[in-house]
Amino acid sequence: MNKYTIYHNPRCRKSREALQFLEESGHEIEIIRYLDAPLSKNELQDVLNKIKLKASEILRKNEAEWKSIPNRNSLSENEILEQLSIYPKLIERPIVTLNQKGVLARPLENLALFLKAN
């Protein structure tokens, strides 16, 4: 059976819903609590490659940490990636991966489609 990895924030309702959905589907799951153990830039880039999104596309722009960055609107993708590794709260969640593929599981329908395709 395939082992899915969920990048999980237990305080986020959408993340809890995605984890429950995975558990109910009967798949083996690895849970990464990325707020407790932040991902490096390289690890984040690997996740982005799997979900086929850019750093700016998984950025939570309404968070105080993002708004506190003075030059935030002129940052490059690499600089945004750096900020995501420094401030993991800025990462949109949940993200689910399987091998070399993945999905931003928001809305939950994205996860359902991903599971069906794999």
Q: Cite the DSSP H helix spans in 1-118.
A: 13-24, 41-51, 64-67, 77-86, 108-117
Active site residues: 12
Q: Which residues of 15-27 are buried (b: 16+ CB within 10 A; e: fewer)?
A: bebbbebbeeeeb
